[in-house]
Amino acid sequence: MQISKNTYGWIGTNVPTQSSTSNSGIFSVQDVNDLIGSNRYFVSPFPVQYLVIAGGGGGGNVHASGYQIQGGGGAGGYRSSIGSENSGGGASTESTLTLSVGTNYAVSVGAGGNAGGNGNDTTFHNITSDGGGRGGTNNYAAGNGGSSGGEASHNGNGSDFSAHPNNSTPTANQGYKGGNGWFEQSNNSYNAGGGGGGASAVGQSASASVSAGNGGAGVSSSVTGSSVGRGGGGAGAGSNVAQGTDGGGDGTNNNTNASIRNGTAKSGGGGAGIGYDLSGYSAAGTGGSGVVFLLYDAARICTVGSGVTGTEVNRGDGFKYIELTGAGNVSFS
């Protein structure tokens, strides 16, 4: 719009002009503040880096007779444009977003899956990470997802032993596949479940020598200024206590009432699979919830809308980050 002398003061001989796409001339400080406050002063789009992690899958959880040992949940999908850090599934850093002031950008952070359930997707603007796949059981196969779930043992038949193959599929460029299950000849107490897939590694397959499979490793990010691993797969159950990592839940021993850890909140970690113990079945682990991190110039301000939780932190190196949970909109000024 053309700014009139009767409305605004200015510096210099030419009347400044302003529109939704450009500013021309020299404005007074008060004029700039008034225009920015009403979203009428053009500000060039600016870069925003992101880390978008979906909810992890729950561990395999079917309560049934026999020595059926279940797999760990897969980690939630992992997508990153932070610095030169990797995304999940071995992918390189994604492209930085270019956003504008005064625009609402949708965010929806996925919850972790319940025991036996897939994780939920996480979305920011046009970036979506897929929820992690559930751990397998004798009643259903390991689930597909950002990282896929580990497979169950199935019962041995008393005359042979073999790996139970994992036919699940992880999402390309977000995570890895879960491990195979194992059933043991003549002694089903050594049956074991495979570990859930992680953002940077496949879940470990169960076997006669390994027993329960560890969850696959996640990816480390320094978006907050400190390196933190997220997106790890949940452990399978077996005769040993297998490990989750980078937010994935630790496993349980078949012969004890050891507790099972859930995936860690805001990590997208998978939950641990169910194991057989001397008094029955323990509860399987739930997946860890997802999270969104945004990293941007410290001069910008991010405002969260209703339903979204997040507090800006100035890293002290010219950048701010904000950790987002919930569902709603955010905007920048």
Q: Which domain holds residue 4?
A: 1-39
| Pair 34, 48 in one domain | no
Residue type (1 letter), 269? G
User: How many structural domains are present in the chain?
Assistant: 2
| Pair 278, 169 in one domain | yes
| Pair 123, 27 in one domain | no
pLDDT confidence of residue 252: 78
User: Helix, strand or coil for residue 29?
Assistant: helix
- State both tokens at 95: 């492209």
| Pair 234, 277 in one domain | yes
| Pair 149, 21 in one domain | no
pLDDT confidence of residue 246: 98
pLDDT confidence of residue 1: 45
| Pair 158, 263 in one domain | yes
Query: How much is the pTM?
Result: 0.88
For residue 170, give the DSSP letter. Answer: B
pLDDT confidence of residue 28: 67
Whole-angstrom Cα distance, residue 239 to residue 193? 10
Task: Determine contact, residues 191/148, Cβ cutoff 8 Å.
Answer: no
Q: How many CB atoms lie within 10 A of CB 152?
A: 35
| Pair 59, 9 in one domain | no
Q: How many CB atoms lie within 10 A of CB 300?
A: 18
Instruction: List alpha helices for the chain, DSSP H.
Output: 29-37
Whole-angstrom Cα distance, residue 130 to residue 75? 9
Residues 299, 305, 309, 313, Cα dihedral to 10°: 10
| Pair 81, 4 in one domain | no
| Pair 231, 309 in one domain | yes
| Pair 62, 201 in one domain | yes
Q: Among all chains, which residue has been given the structure tokens 């992992």?
A: 78
Q: Cite the beta strand spans of the chain per DSSP E.
A: 17-18, 23-24, 46-53, 78-80, 97-99, 105-108, 122-124, 127-129, 162-164, 181-183, 219-221, 228-230, 276-277, 280-281, 291-297, 302-304, 308-309, 312-314, 319-332
- Residues of the chain with confidence (pLDDT) below 70: 1-29, 31-42, 63-67, 155-161, 185-189, 254-260, 277-281
| Pair 127, 232 in one domain | yes
pLDDT confidence of residue 42: 63
| Pair 19, 124 in one domain | no
